[in-house]
Amino acid sequence: MAPVKISIIGAGSAVFSMRLVNDLCKTKGLAGSLVSLMDIDETRLNGVYDLATRYVKELGGDLRFEKTTRLEDSLRDADFVINTAMVGGHTYLEKARQIGEKHGYYRGIDTQEFNMVSDYYTLSNFNQLKFFVDVARKMEELCPNAWLLQTANPVFEGTNLIKRCSKIKVVGFCHGHYGVHEMAEALELDMKKVDWQVAGFNHAIWLNRFFYDGEDGYKFVEKWIDEDSKTWKPKTPFDLQLSPASIDMYKFYGQMPIGDTPRNGSWKYNYNLEIKKKWYGEPWGGADSELGWKWYQERLKMITDAINYLSTNKSIKLLSLESYLKFLPKGSVPEELKQEIKVFTSPTALSGEQHIPFIDAIVNNNIQRFVINVPNQGYIPQIPDGVVVEVPATVDRNGWHVEKIDPPLSEKVIKMYLLPRMLRMEWALHAIINGDKEALIEFLVRDVRTKSYEQAVKVIEEILSLPENEKMRNHYSNKQKL
């Protein structure tokens, strides 16, 4: 099938841009392909385009890059579309969060039971969710057979919404399942001997299978809890796989929450900063507290600043970047970024993101195992078919083949976590698909932070009155259908 056209929407993404470029340039099976970088922010677009074209040259690869600010141009005749765009950016998320806090909703109205991740907005994120649908519908016209690799959040609500509004083949991507590797490392287990499976929804996955060298792997978790949990301290705000919240969820549900899932517990861990610190560790109180999220934003800014700097200093050899680090003041480059630079400067190392290996599997039948978000077809029998689930699957030129989820998810995971989480997705989708403002308000009435109906109405009205929410305002005022 190669060469193909791959369109990256929101190509300036701080999280994904250079990781995707890294993987594309090192995937030999995609030689001769065209990568169309699309973003509305010309500075970011130019920066990524400049680095991508230099990088592929330095690696001696055979890929063509083009750049555009027009969505249609990028989508036309694409075979794969990766959507990493965040409409309104982090600025909008902060604005909406501040309005929420003003009205008594700590960390904003979109922070909800089983969905506390700070860039995973489902209620006030009309522009983003509408954009997901617009991309899918434009794909129906311009590249109807292409695959949509949905990466921008909220992946759970987004993939379900796209499935309900369009016929495009959509698959959701997340890197959260690497929590299994983090856990194995902390338990000092050799990952090659770990037999594992995770299943659930995006940001809501559970370790249903865990064997180590043929033995029950959970024995090692229990041992770690007995011997080491008291001295646990997070290295970063995202180091949560073995946090007290995670262990508490494991004890309650009977299976281990993986990756972003411990961030998405109940209110119990999230009432306020002090409570968050108790469950997610000092000093940050996890990734989604005001302190943890500030830390994250600073890291993202370092990446976009670095892309800017490198794109304006064209004499710097990208493959030698690691050697420049020694000229910078000690401690000025955080360990996680050094790790990313190490991958970037290696001639063969991939980022660990699944998108490009997934494309390689489809295009070249380079069969691999992934954890992907696809419509349920009895994989998790208690979840209705058609609802998008996050499950392990092998992928080949014929598409995905989901593994039998064995052993099954625990009864408590199903009844007390996944089903309530699924209903919250259904409520949010009902509101947006039908322009039903009362449903948005009712969602908040069911929120433990709401003390009166008026409080819920006021916060929704103030968010709707933001200038950037004009379309959202019209949509909900006129009960428009999506």
Contact set with ligand NAD (CB under 6 A): 9-10, 12-16, 38-41, 44, 84-87, 89-90, 119, 131, 151-153, 155, 173-175, 300
Burial class, 178, CB count within 10 angstroms (exposed 0-12 / middle 13-18 / buried 19+): middle
How far CA 327 is from CA of 3, 288, 306, 315, in Å, comes to: 40, 33, 15, 16
**DSSP string of 352-375, one letter each residue:** S-SHHHHHHHHHH---EEEEEEEE
CB 361 within 8 A of CB 367: yes
The residue number with the shortest CB distance to ligand NAD is 12
Q: In the block, which residue shows the tokens 């420049």?
A: 324
Q: Which is nearer to ligand NAD, 85 or 363 (CB)?
A: 85
Q: Tokens in use for 134? A: 């617009």
Q: Which is nearer to ligand NAD, 151 or 264 (CB)?
A: 151
* Shortest Å distance, C-beta 393 to ligand NAD: 16
Beta strands 215-216; 80-83: pairing state:
unpaired
Q: Which is nearer to ligand NAD, 11 or 56 (CB)?
A: 11
Give the Cα separation of 219 and 227 in Å (integer).
12
* Shortest Å distance, C-beta 438 to ligand NAD: 27
* Shortest Å distance, C-beta 435 to ligand NAD: 21
Sorted by sequence, the CB contacts under 8 Å of residue 141 that are 6+ apart come out as none
How far CA 344 is from CA of 35, 322, 477, 481, in Å, comes to: 18, 9, 48, 44
- Catalytic annotation present for 175: yes
* Shortest Å distance, C-beta 39 to ligand NAD: 4
Q: Which is nearer to ligand NAD, 86 or 383 (CB)?
A: 86
Reported as half-sphere exposure (CB side, CA atoms, 13 A), residue 55 has a value of 28
- Catalytic annotation present for 103: no
Give the Cα separation of 482 and 403 in Å (integer).
34
Sorted by sequence, the CB contacts under 8 Å of residue 458 that are 6+ apart come out as 103
Burial class, 93, CB count within 10 angstroms (exposed 0-12 / middle 13-18 / buried 19+): buried
Q: Which is nearer to ligand NAD, 247 or 390 (CB)?
A: 390
Sign of CA dihedral 352, 296, 250, 112: negative
Give the Cα separation of 171 and 194 in Å (integer).
26
Give the Cα separation of 337 and 352 in Å (integer).
14
* Shortest Å distance, C-beta 198 to ligand NAD: 14
* Given 73, 90, 134, 175, the catalytic residue: 175
* Given 50, 110, 119, 260, the catalytic residue: 260
* Shortest Å distance, C-beta 334 to ligand NAD: 16
Give the Cα separation of 375 and 463 in Å (integer).
32
CB 265 within 8 A of CB 249: yes
Q: Which is nearer to ligand NAD, 118 or 255 (CB)?
A: 118
* Shortest Å distance, C-beta 18 to ligand NAD: 10
* Shortest Å distance, C-beta 391 to ligand NAD: 16
Q: Which is nearer to ligand NAD, 89 or 375 (CB)?
A: 89
CA 233 to chain centre: 25
Q: Tokens in use for 462? A: 């103030």
Rg (CA), the chain: 22
Q: Which is nearer to ligand NAD, 117 or 165 (CB)?
A: 117
* Shortest Å distance, C-beta 262 to ligand NAD: 16
Q: Which is nearer to ligand NAD, 180 or 221 (CB)?
A: 180
Burial class, 371, CB count within 10 angstroms (exposed 0-12 / middle 13-18 / buried 19+): buried
Give the Cα separation of 473 and 361 in Å (integer).
42
List the catalytic residues: 175, 260
